[in-house]
Amino acid sequence: MVMENSAYKILLVEDDKLDQMAFERLIKGENLPYDYTVAGSVSHARSILDSNVFDVVIVDYSLGDGTAFDVFKLVKDTPIIVTTGIGDEEIAVKAMKAGAYDYLTKDQERNYLKVLPEIIKNVISHKQTEDELKEYHDNLETLVKERTDQLAREKELLSVTLSGMGDGVVAVDAQKRIMLFNKVAENLTGWKFGEVQSKPVDGIFRVVNEQTKKAIKIPIDKVLGSGKVEVWANGEVLVGRDGNKCPISATAAPIRKNDGTIVGVVMVFRDVSRECEIDRMKADIISLVSHELRTPITSIKAYTETLLCAPNMPEQSRRRFLAVIDEESNRLTNLVEGLLELSRIESGAVKIVRKPVDIAAVVNQVSSALQPLADKKHIRLSTDIGRELPKLKGDEGKIRSVVTNLVSNAIKFTPEGGRVSVCVQHGTGELIMRVSDTGMGIPEKELPKIFGRFYRVYRPDTQIQGTGLGLAIVKKIVMMHDGRIEVESEVGKGTTFTVFLPLKVNRLYRKPSEDRKHTSLAKMR
Ligand code: ADP
């Protein structure tokens, strides 16, 4: 860039000696601040331009060894003024098109020299403005590029953060159209972002009340209305695309512009199935403590107090009281043991030790052990075991517990004189064990619930004791062996539990949380 007061560096390319002299005269006469060099030909100009930089190049169109256009090729970033003879205006126009900053028509009297200083000044100032504009443009371009890169980085960071988040994120605009939908949101709703982008959120994000099962409005509406953050944590249930239900908690907050206008809502939500499960377990424990444990304890306490207060009680009553205390403490022990076993299995603390198990031997041992119980009720207990059954890869102790639970239940829930049979056969890639009885049966609506913890069919007319934990433990053990259990029953006729145990082991025991993925284990008739 040329400073106002410093000398302009000028190259004059002119083959006419008189014109050269006139130019020099002008400079000296006017005392112009020019640091000038004169080239008499194109080749001379080339050698000078090779090692010098000028502020302005003044070039005559017609030179001995070429034209001004040949000099154009040698000059890169310096403004050029072209001089032509009178009548050569057409050439001057061409020169302007080729990049000359200005042109001068030489007259006989060399009057054009009078305007030359002014033209040089204008050209330099023009060039200066152009350079500044170019610099400004370059800076702007760099700035735009930097901002674009920064935006792209921020966008990528946002997308990585959103996809890496453990919570679902949905953002909508003021018209409730979906603008953003992360991976977790996709998984929980069953919709892909591409499918729901710009669609109204209501049809996609369906929520029902846990208790009433009635559809409820998502908090987005409220936030758009009030501009306040809304929190949901009351057992709202998200209904996925395929009808799958999942309890969620959610927080919805307004998205505002700098001036405070609400332009949308962002909702963060998460699957709280596990927390709900824990809450349910807590409620179970409380109900257990308040009922299942308290009842035997109250009874033990009452009978013990009576015994203590009546030392002279007749022997027969004393024995009867002691028998009740014994029975109630057995009930307590069974309850506590069952509870401990179930919680050990559910926590994943119990690993099964897989060894070849002779299921026929296990069934025979269990049926021998329970024979006295069956005899007491005159129940015919029979076994029907297929020949040469393959060995099962499993945990013998746990398999025994399954057989014991099912057979003792069958005896327990079958009235005197009934029949209980255990049949084991070889299915395709699995062993199938059926425990059938001719007992009281289970009402159809109870069937899906009997594998739940503490669940006991309400039978006010019977005195049958139990903890409601046996079938829950059976189900867990069967699942640990990658098997499944089904139940068929008819009230007053009998019940059959069928256990399917695969012979090939190809998976590890799944964590209890994966139980949810299993379809209903109960088969109803
Ligand atoms: P418990 O036997 O200790 O009550 P379980 O978990 O073993 O608990 O069984 C849950 C409920 O399922 C029982 O209370 C009973 O009502 C029902 N049930 C289980 N087996 C049978 C059966 N063979 N016949 C009729 N009802 C049964």
Q: Find the CATH number of the domain harbouring 423.
A: 3.30.565.10
Same domain for 387 and 468, yes or no, is yes
Residue 254: per-residue pLDDT: 94
Q: Which of 336, 341, 409, 411 to mutate for ligand 1's pocket (most ligand atoms within 8 Å of CB)?
A: 409
> Which tokens sit at 224?
């758009």
Virtual torsion, Cα 406, 408, 409, 413, nearest 10 deg: 140
How far is CA 486 from each of CA 359, 376, 502, 519, rounded to the nearest angstrom? Answer: 19, 28, 15, 11
Question: In total, how many domains does the chain have?
Answer: 4
Residues shown for the chain = 525
Residue 6: per-residue pLDDT: 63
CA-nearest of 366, 362, 371, 364 to 394 is 362
Q: Which of 370, 412, 450, 469 to mutate for ligand 1's pocket (most ligand atoms within 8 Å of CB)?
A: 450
- Rounded Cα distance between 292 and 3, Å, is 100
Q: What long-range pairs does 511-514 form, CB within 8 A, spacing at least 24?
A: 511/348, 512/345, 512/346, 512/347, 512/348, 512/476, 513/274, 513/277
Domain boundary at 213, 240, 271, which? 271
Cβ neighbours of residue 467 closer than 8 Å, sequence gap 6 or more: 292, 331, 334, 335, 338, 339, 454
Whether ligand 1 lies within 6 angstroms of the CB of 481 is answered as no
> Which tokens sit at 333?
């022990």
Q: Find the CATH number of the domain harbouring 339.
A: 1.10.287.130
Whether ligand 1 lies within 6 angstroms of the CB of 494 is answered as no
Same domain for 323 and 248, yes or no, is no
Same domain for 303 and 364, yes or no, is no
Is the residue at 145 inside a domain? no
Is the residue at 113 inside a domain? yes
Is the residue at 157 inside a domain? no
CA-nearest of 210, 228, 151, 211 to 219 is 228
Same domain for 386 and 314, yes or no, is no
Cβ neighbours of residue 504 closer than 8 Å, sequence gap 6 or more: 429
Same domain for 336 and 214, yes or no, is no
Same domain for 307 and 226, yes or no, is no
Q: Is 519 left (phi over 0), alpha (psi -120 to 50) or beta?
A: beta
Same domain for 336 and 368, yes or no, is no
**CB distance 78 to 54 below 8 Å:** yes
Same domain for 172 and 243, yes or no, is yes
Whether ligand 1 lies within 6 angstroms of the CB of 473 is answered as no
Q: Which residues of 309-336 are buried (b: 16+ CB within 10 A; e: fewer)?
A: eeeeeeeeeeeebeeebeebeebbebbe
Q: Which of 456, 461, 474 to mutate for ligand 1's pocket (most ligand atoms within 8 Å of CB)?
A: 456
Residue 90: CB atoms within 10 A of its CB come to 9
| Rg of the Cα atoms in the chain | 48
Give distance in angstroms: CA of 5 to centre of ligand 1: 108
Closest residue by Cα to atom 14, ligand 1, is: 456
Same domain for 285 and 267, yes or no, is no
> Which tokens sit at 463?
């005195």
Residue 506: per-residue pLDDT: 55
In order along its 525 residues, the chain shows pLDDT tens digits of 434 446 889 999 999 999 999 999 999 998 888 999 999 999 999 999 999 999 999 999 999 899 999 999 999 889 999 998 877 788 888 989 988 999 989 888 888 888 889 999 898 888 889 889 989 999 999 999 999 999 889 888 887 877 777 899 999 999 999 999 999 999 999 999 999 999 999 889 899 988 788 888 888 888 998 999 988 877 789 999 998 889 999 999 999 998 989 999 999 999 988 888 778 777 777 776 677 788 889 999 999 999 999 888 899 999 999 999 999 999 888 888 888 888 888 777 778 888 999 999 999 999 999 999 999 999 999 999 998 899 999 999 999 999 999 999 999 999 999 999 999 999 999 999 999 999 999 999 999 889 988 788 888 777 787 888 899 999 999 999 999 999 999 999 999 999 999 998 754 444 444 343 333 333 332
Domain that holds residue 82: 8-133
Q: Is 186 helix (H, G, I), strand (E, B) or coil?
A: helix
- Looking at ligand 1, which atom is closest to the CA of residue 435? 23
Q: Find the CATH number of the domain harbouring 16.
A: 3.40.50.2300
Residue 155: CB atoms within 10 A of its CB come to 10
Residue 218: per-residue pLDDT: 84
